[in-house]
A and B are shown apart, each in its own frame.
Chain A
């Protein structure tokens, strides 16, 4: 069953056509990695899929709900960790308080943040803040979780803890779409990879197909990353 189907999406900012006829499907339980050079339209694609951005043509069909984890967390600074996680389930979904708190504590345990319930975001490291933001998204019980470069704003020594959390979610068959520059991670965690460039999907397939592809543009992109 496709949880999400994107059909022939187009998006321009003024004269700049950023998404040129993008189509893709996300199946239940699948992890989709989106890679490609900076400026290729990955964030815009995610923003269209999560309704933060309108699109000019095409269709997006959802079979369920979604959550989004931002590059720079966007936690609510005036709320404690617990309130960041529970506020939307309580106020938006209007769920039972006991149940929401119980679930939030389970999520915090999973994120290794049980002792941070009452902390404010500014008291946490970047890695901890990103784990809170993942917990906040998961607390809404989304069918799909989108990540836009979840480790890009973090110091290199903190990226590991986030990738570990996402891997654990993949092991639980959480459906995820992950934009990332961490190629080794993309290769290991994903079931399917999309390589974007200049608003097009250049290649897609299993991690092996894409990463071992002879396509010169992919070789070029991966080569540059390795050279860094």
Chain B
């Protein structure tokens, strides 16, 4: 196998990994905020539901959750599963799992904002929405960058779990080529890929943190 073919095959896997990564963030970051609202609701029912949800998502393996999302429709409703559902199941599984972690991070951030900020906003006549999106949330974002960075870096490595639904992401691609070529080079290439990916993520988050360091 020429180096070009190797890179092309790995490149395809890489694209899938990046797709899982970006798709998961795109869905789980907003979903996590909604879950956090449920967790902090003044009503008991949404509090209970989100608490159980978070506890299951954090208490069971992500791989198992992926299998449940993929095979669930068949076993529960007898729906025939098409192979194109695989990547969708991966995205759903990752998103609902990461949303649980992000929800707890958001909650911690929101609860760390002092009551005085809400009171000042209230006396000035800000609506509830304005108070949250103009006053509270921007401060929350700044405070939660470190824990969010941790999760995002974990996510980069977690994308390899998509192999459990036979989605050929970077790591699976490397494994297949390595097996057929009896060579370690694909693994080395995969290792470099994950490392560089994470390095870029870390640098990006650092730049973001720096951008928000204009106030304390």
Are A and B a genuine interacting pair, yes or no? yes
Instruction: Say whether A1 faces chain B, with CB atoms less than 8 Å apart.
Output: no
By secondary structure, the B interface counts as helix
CB closest residue in chain B, given A50: B123
- Neighbouring A residues of B138 by C-beta, 8 Å: 78
Nearest Cβ distance between residue A46 and chain B, in whole angstroms? 11
CB of B142 within 8 A of CB of A92, answer no
Instruction: Say whether A52 faces chain B, with CB atoms less than 8 Å apart.
Output: yes
Known: A78-B138, A78-B142. A88 touches B126 (CB 8 A): yes
By secondary structure, the A interface counts as loop
CB of B126 within 8 A of CB of A91, answer yes
Looking at the complex, which of A4-12, A65-73, A194-202 is the stretch in contact with chain B? A65-73
Instruction: Say whether A77 faces chain B, with CB atoms less than 8 Å apart.
Output: yes
CB closest residue in chain B, given A142: B123
Q: How many residues of A contact B (CB 8 A)?
A: 24
Nearest Cβ distance between residue A6 and chain B, in whole angstroms? 17
CB closest residue in chain A, given B116: A74
Chain B interface size range: 10 to 19
Bound-state Cα–Cα, A227 to B56, Å: 61
- Neighbouring B residues of A92 by C-beta, 8 Å: 124-126, 130
Known: A77-B215, A78-B139. A52 touches B126 (CB 8 A): no
Bound-state Cα–Cα, A227 to B125, Å: 42
User: Which of B117, B125, B142, B216 lies in contact with A76, CB distance below 8 A?
Assistant: B117
CB of B215 within 8 A of CB of A74, answer no
**Chain A 89-104 interface 0/1 with B at a Cβ cutoff of 8 Å (1 = within):** 0011100000000000
- Neighbouring B residues of A70 by C-beta, 8 Å: 116, 119-120
Instruction: Say whether A120 faces chain B, with CB atoms less than 8 Å apart.
Output: yes
CB of B214 within 8 A of CB of A140, answer no
CB of B124 within 8 A of CB of A136, answer yes
Bound-state Cα–Cα, A208 to B54, Å: 63
**Residues 101-158 of B contacting A (Cβ, < 8 Å):** 114, 116-117, 119-120, 122-126, 130, 134-135, 138-139, 142
Bound-state Cα–Cα, A15 to B130, Å: 35
Bound-state Cα–Cα, A75 to B134, Å: 13
CB of A76 within 8 A of CB of B119, answer no
- Neighbouring B residues of A87 by C-beta, 8 Å: 134
**Chain A 184-205 interface 0/1 with B at a Cβ cutoff of 8 Å (1 = within):** 0000000000000000000000
- Neighbouring A residues of B122 by C-beta, 8 Å: 51-52
- Neighbouring B residues of A140 by C-beta, 8 Å: 124-125
Bound-state Cα–Cα, A111 to B21, Å: 51
Nearest Cβ distance between residue B143 and chain A, in whole angstroms? 11
- Neighbouring A residues of B125 by C-beta, 8 Å: 88, 92-93, 140
Bound-state Cα–Cα, A93 to B117, Å: 19
- Can you list 21 A-B pairs with a CB-CB distance of less than 8 A? A50-B123, A51-B123, A52-B122, A67-B124, A74-B116, A74-B117, A74-B120, A76-B117, A76-B120, A76-B135, A77-B216, A78-B215, A91-B134, A92-B125, A92-B126, A120-B216, A121-B215, A122-B216, A136-B124, A137-B123, A140-B124
Q: Which of B's residues lie within 8 Å of A, judged by CB?
A: 114, 116-117, 119-120, 122-126, 130, 134-135, 138-139, 142, 214-216
